[in-house]
Chain A
Amino acid sequence: MEQFTLNLIVVGLTFALYVGIAIWARAGSTSEFYAAGRGVHPVLNGMATGADWMSAASFISMAGIIAFGGYDTSAYLMGWTGGYVLLAMLLAPYLRKFGKFTVPEFIGDRFYSQTARLIAVICLIIASVTYVIGQMKGVGVAFSGFLNMSYEMGLWTGALIVAVYAVLGGMKGITYTQVAQYVVLIIAYTIPAIFISLTITGNPIPALGLFSNTAAEGVPLLEKLDTVIQDLGFASYTAQTDTTLNIFLFTLSLMIGTAGLPHVIVRFFTVPRVADARTSAGWALVFIALLYLTAPAVGAMARLNFVDTMWPNGPQQDAIAIEEMPNWVQNWERTGLLAFEDKNGDGRIEYWADEEKNEAVKVDQDIMVLANPEIAGLPSWVIALVVAGGLAAALSTAAGLLMAISSAVSHDLIKSMINPDISEKGELMAARISMLVAILAATWLGLNPPGFAAQTVALAFGIAAASLFPAILMGIFSKRMNSQGAIAGMLAGLLVTVIYIFLHKGWFFIPGTNSFTDDDPLLLSIKSTSFGAVGAMINFVVAYVVSNATQEPPEEVQDLVESIRVPKGAGAAQAH
């Protein structure tokens, strides 16, 4: 059977599963639409959070980023997991006790201010929309690369599937499809990883294989990798190349950004009790760690595999002859992710760090995950599974983001600001329409991606870290924090961070309008991607100063803070 027929069958089966779940998990009330009726088991919510969190970037790109970045890129591993510790202790249980539907709703109620709520809505929409563009692009690329479909057709097919379960089931439909998508994506990620680890180290568990000896030479894998890539002129894999300050701040920005992203926070509104919100964060991290502990192993092993392929007898001997290239190399050369140029015309491709003599002119980082099944010589159904896994990762994250965007529109804008008298049935209809509009907007952005799409992840994390996370944190842990302080803090953190990003990436990401670059940043060695943590500190300081200079919050708000701090009575809050 042709590979693409098999891909179609496997992807078709998973899509049928998602639609089946959607029909079973329809939402009948706003509570079901916004918070899955608060009846999701904590372990299942953990799985759904895993799929919600792990995007096309985690699935396809992260191992490749680590493969080419080595130690420095550990910031992603620690940053995208460490945020869950903050969520579990500092945010999730109290927001679950608060017992409402959206993050801006908490900020608006706690700081007794529609202005604060509106700022939170704006932050939420910018962060989530920039994030969703990448997911939609991932869906289009997967379809066009593996299913012989045009990019546009692929994007519309993906959007249609999301529309079916998100419009019909809201958070409830999204939750249970995310559980299924987690299972698909983790199986698809793990199977090729186990085989590549077995081949290289003889250890079936990739995370252990990373710190084992190679099966062929009996030397530690990381030691061998360090030696071979340094022989080719690349930087050492295990050594630090970036400054300690920047790695520190980058990790911190990713951690607090993770904890502050609304589409992750709202997942914890769906569990029955406050205690469940805490354990559910633990389960979420277990399911995320299954992939995040495998990814660095895949990265290191795939890099070693690639070097061994290019230099079959080591860099001291001849490089690989063009006619001896294995099949997978030729397959991926066709997609443009790999490109070779025999500069010295000797019929061999020499892979070097030095651009002058390097003949492997393009080695896309995504190849490290995508080509794995072929490198390991796995059967074609495994390749089909990887395609389905990549799609599951992209669709589940897109759905979570669209949920956050549409509930901000229907609940925070329409219900709270434009038409407070709307009936529950009317709000449910408004929520479904908002969802549909959000999907259409995201699809349009996927079809016409702005040139800056790849750079906006820094923006999403920067905004979440510098404005949302500190505001929620102070709302829970400081009874004295008032609306003036919170608003001033959010605006200060947001503006400083966005301006710092624009100064380095160009104003509104327009190329050429930047005054600095990330290689030579404005402040010390702090890159624009690492600035979210600094923005958060500015937010805290400004909020503290302004709050202490103005009136303390009213009695009933202080009582609200008292009440969200204890779990007792969360069941009653459901009646709101």
Chain B
Amino acid sequence: MSDRQSSNAYWRANIRTIWICIAIWAFVSYGCAILFRPLLSGIKIGGTDLGFWFAQQGSIITFVILIFAYAWRMNRLDREHGVEE
């Protein structure tokens, strides 16, 4: 029974982590690169605006960092909850 409670807490922590990552994922791509691009047009970078940079580079770089951050956090959660392999 305690096993089950521990894995429930583990799953809730995982879901929380996923929501945070999804929020960042959506913010840089759908937010900065598409929806909020007009709002960011005042910020200039290399001859164009920040939204264009996010669309062509910023999102991709953020995605890479996000996956490694998620993997690192999950490895810690695995150990804390004793569910690692």
Residues of A within 8 A of B (CB): 71, 74, 77-78, 81-82, 84-85, 88-90, 93, 207, 210-213, 219-224, 226, 238, 240, 244, 247-248, 251-252, 273-275, 278-279, 281-282, 285-286, 289, 292-293, 296, 562, 565-571
* B40: Cβ under 8 A from any A Cβ: no
Name the A residues within 8 Å of B11 (CB-CB).
565-566
Say yes or no: A85 contacts B57, CB within 8 Å.
no
Chain B residue with Cβ nearest A240: B37
> Given A222-B47, A248-B30, is A85 in contact with B71 using a C-beta cutoff of 8 Å?
no
Interface of A is mostly: helix
Say yes or no: A223 contacts B60, CB within 8 Å.
no
Pick from A82, A84, A566: contact of B29, CB under 8 Å? A82
Q: In the complex, what's the smallest C-beta–C-beta distance from A462 to chain B, in angstroms?
A: 19
New contact pairs (18) apart from A210-B57, A565-B7, A569-B85, CB-CB < 8 Å: A81-B60, A84-B67, A85-B25, A210-B46, A210-B56, A211-B46, A211-B48, A219-B47, A222-B48, A238-B49, A240-B37, A251-B29, A273-B85, A278-B67, A278-B71, A281-B67, A285-B63, A568-B85
Chain B residue with Cβ nearest A300: B56
Name the A residues within 8 Å of B18 (CB-CB).
89-90
> Given A78-B29, A85-B67, is A223 in contact with B74 using a C-beta cutoff of 8 Å?
no
Name the A residues within 8 Å of B35 (CB-CB).
244, 248
Chain B residue with Cβ nearest A299: B56
Name the A residues within 8 Å of B14 (CB-CB).
565
Name the A residues within 8 Å of B57 (CB-CB).
207, 210, 293, 296
Name the B residues within 8 Å of A251 (CB-CB).
29-30, 34
Name the A residues within 8 Å of B34 (CB-CB).
244, 247-248, 251
Say yes or no: B70 contacts A88, CB within 8 Å.
yes
Chain B residue with Cβ nearest A90: B18
Say yes or no: A81 contacts B85, CB within 8 Å.
no
Name the B residues within 8 Å of A211 (CB-CB).
45-48, 53
Name the B residues within 8 Å of A565 (CB-CB).
7, 10-11, 14
Say yes or no: A71 contacts B55, CB within 8 Å.
yes
Pick from A219, A281, A567: contact of B83, CB under 8 Å? A567
Q: In the complex, what's the smallest C-beta–C-beta distance from A269 to chain B, in angstroms?
A: 15
> Given A77-B55, A248-B35, A251-B29, is A568 in contact with B21 using a C-beta cutoff of 8 Å?
no
Chain A residue with Cβ nearest B73: A278
In chain B between 36 and 84, which residues have their CB closer than 8 angstroms to a CB of chain A? 37, 45-49, 52-53, 55-57, 59-61, 63-64, 66-68, 70-71, 74-75, 78, 82-84
Interface of B is mostly: helix
Say yes or no: B74 contacts A222, CB within 8 Å.
no
Please report the C-alpha to C-alpha distance between residue A247 and residue B59 in the assembled complex, in whole angstroms.
15
Say yes or no: B71 contacts A566, CB within 8 Å.
no
Say yes or no: A282 contacts B60, CB within 8 Å.
no
Q: In the complex, what's the smallest C-beta–C-beta distance from B38 to chain A, in angstroms?
A: 9
Say yes or no: B67 contacts A77, CB within 8 Å.
no
> Given A89-B21, A275-B84, A567-B85, is A84 in contact with B53 using a C-beta cutoff of 8 Å?
no
Name the B residues within 8 Å of A82 (CB-CB).
25, 29, 59, 63
Please report the C-alpha to C-alpha distance between residue A252 and residue B71 in the assembled complex, in whole angstroms.
23
Please report the C-alpha to C-alpha distance between residue A210 and residue B84 in the assembled complex, in whole angstroms.
43
Name the A residues within 8 Å of B47 (CB-CB).
211, 213, 219-224, 226
Please report the C-alpha to C-alpha distance between residue A247 and residue B14 in the assembled complex, in whole angstroms.
31
Please report the C-alpha to C-alpha distance between residue A482 and residue B14 in the assembled complex, in whole angstroms.
23
Q: In the complex, what's the smallest C-beta–C-beta distance from A157 to chain B, in angstroms?
A: 35
Pick from A238, A285, A566: contact of B52, CB under 8 Å? A238
Say yes or no: B67 contacts A238, CB within 8 Å.
no
Please report the C-alpha to C-alpha distance between residue A567 and residue B83 in the assembled complex, in whole angstroms.
6
Q: In the complex, what's the smallest C-beta–C-beta distance from A565 to chain B, in angstroms?
A: 5
Please report the C-alpha to C-alpha distance between residue A346 and residue B34 in the assembled complex, in whole angstroms.
45
> Given A85-B63, A274-B85, A275-B84, is A74 in contact with B48 using a C-beta cutoff of 8 Å?
no
Chain B residue with Cβ nearest A74: B55
Name the A residues within 8 Å of B46 (CB-CB).
210-212, 220-222
Q: In the complex, what's the smallest C-beta–C-beta distance from A562 to chain B, in angstroms?
A: 7
Say yes or no: B85 contacts A285, CB within 8 Å.
no
A-B contact pairs, 27 of them (CB 8 A): A74-B56, A77-B55, A77-B56, A77-B59, A78-B29, A78-B55, A78-B59, A81-B60, A84-B63, A89-B18, A89-B22, A89-B70, A90-B18, A210-B46, A210-B57, A211-B46, A222-B46, A223-B47, A244-B34, A248-B30, A275-B71, A275-B74, A278-B70, A296-B57, A565-B10, A566-B10, A567-B78
